[in-house]
Amino acid sequence: MEQKSLLKVEQLALKKQKIYQQSLVRYLSRSALASMFIGFGVIVAFRTGGFFYLEHSPFTYPMAALTFGAAIILISYGGGDLFTGNTFYFTYAALRRKIRWPQATRLLATSYIGNILGAVVFAGLIYMTGLFRDNSVNGFLLSVVEKKMQAPVLELFFRAILCNWLVCLAFFIPMSFRNDGAKMFAMMLFVFCFFISGYEHSIANMCTFAIALVLHHPGTISFEGVVYNLIPVTIGNFIGGSVLMAVMYHYVNKPFLDEKEG
């Protein structure tokens, strides 16, 4: 069954490559959109979780995880290029010799840059709304950011590997579903699992950090903390998507795919 989904992965990678070749600005814009969609998920998750955080409720993280699933629906159906998913798509397409490795590297780098731009713009928009200026609202968000900037590097790295493995599966497995309702449910379930498990997603972190930095925040939250977190998390995400997804699925399915092509 996964062979059909893997064919869709190839087609999706080639479609993204075509957009990049036609217009770098358009591709960057799509990448910026993806992180803005993640930003919407971050806002609704922390706004929802914040109500429970104030009451010291054990439902704080489960409720935040449940509502964060809106982000993956927006990306999947609203369009956008997310670095984390692209680690799977472009690596797999390169392994299948549909895209050359230098081109795959450029596509990944460009999507990451676009994601950064989108996170910065979205943080600016949120700042202008004034929705997170009150300490009673931003407490949960700032507490989570502070922990992410202080966690040991090795732990961040392995959390990031597991995170993108799960997130890529959230996009990949529903490719074989025919019903949109089933697809959305599966996607939200996988995202709930990654969020509630405490894994690290570089683009979600990027958006959360950008929002935290434009708010009144303690000295423990800084740009240095952003770099400290994002370096191991980005590398871990890359390994999760490229090795545990692309390389693994290419390896276990290669005999079947070669047989079809032969």
CA atoms within 13 A on the CB side of 1: 7
pLDDT at 245: 97
Q: What local confidence, expressed as pLDDT, does residue 35 receive?
A: 96
Domains of the chain: residue spans and CATH: 2-261 (1.20.1080.10)
- Chain-centre distance for alpha carbon 200: 9
Q: What is the pLDDT of residue 107?
A: 97
The rounded distance, in Å, linking the Cα atoms of 258 and 260 is 5
Query: Where does residue 168 rank: exposed (0-12), middle (13-18), buried (19+ CB within 10 A)?
Result: buried
The amino acid at 174: P
**Confidence at residue 159, expressed as pLDDT on a 0 to 100 scale:** 97
Which residue numbers in the chain have pLDDT < 50? none
Give this prediction's pTM.
0.93
pLDDT at site 78: 87
* Residue showing tokens 């979780």: 49
Under 8 Å between Cβ of 164 and 190: no
- pLDDT for 216 equals 85
pLDDT (0 to 100) of residue 80:
86
